[in-house]
């Protein structure tokens, strides 16, 4: 096979819902390694993007005004941190079997972070739906 040119193209996330798409094409000299040429084009493209938009912002997370993640730029080597106190609260919420038990849990834990409150509200809605489904199922069986 004869390779006489190399094309490099990439999508680089820059801002929320925004990307740069640098691309370069190079003609190879006789005996030039295509892989080395490709790597050189990659290096040139990344330098060009950095000159246009600044250094990469790895670890930036975008969220809406309700705290939901809507996008971000994460490194492949990033690690997530689990807040054990949050994890324990979520487990306790999930272990509540009915609305009264969940309400009692909330009375014992009146102050909670927003993500835990969201988890609490979701669990309460699930318990209400399960209760309504049970009531409707019992009504259907009697008819």
Domain that holds residue 19: 5-60
Say yes or no to pLDDT of 19 above 90: no
pLDDT at 67: 55
Any domain includes 74: no
Strand partners, 62: 71
For the whole model, what pTM was predicted? 0.43
Any domain includes 112: yes
Say yes or no to pLDDT of 135 above 70: yes
Q: What is the percent of the chain where pLDDT is above 70?
A: 70
Any domain includes 41: yes
Any domain includes 78: no
DSSP label of 98: S
Q: Distance between CA 96 and CA 117 in Å, rounded?
A: 15
Q: Which of 33-37, 42-46, 65-69 has the lowest mean pLDDT?
A: 65-69
Residues with Cβ < 8 Å from 12, sequence gap 6 or more? 19, 20, 21, 22, 46, 49, 56
Any domain includes 72: no
Domains identified in the chain, total number? 2
Any domain includes 66: no
Q: What is the pLDDT of residues 56-105, one digit of tens each?
A: 555 555 555 555 555 555 554 445 567 788 889 999 999 999 999 999 99
């Amino acid at each position: 096979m004869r390779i006489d040119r190399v094309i490099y193209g990439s999508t680089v996330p820059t801002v929320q819902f925004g990307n740069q798409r640098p691309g370069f094409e190079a003609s190879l000299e006789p005996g030039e390694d295509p892989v080395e040429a490709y790597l050189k084009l990659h290096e040139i493209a990344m330098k060009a993007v950095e000159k246009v938009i600044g250094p990469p912002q790895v670890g930036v997370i975008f969220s809406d005004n309700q705290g939901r993640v809507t996008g971000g730029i994460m490194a492949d080597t990033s690690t997530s941190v689990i807040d054990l106190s949050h994890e324990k609260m979520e487990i306790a919420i999930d272990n509540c079997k009915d609305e009264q038990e969940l309400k009692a849990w909330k009375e014992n834990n009146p102050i909670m972070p927003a993500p835990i409150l969201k988890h609490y509200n979701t669990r309460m809605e699930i318990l209400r739906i399960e209760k309504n489904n049970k009531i409707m199922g019992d009504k259907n069986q009697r008819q």
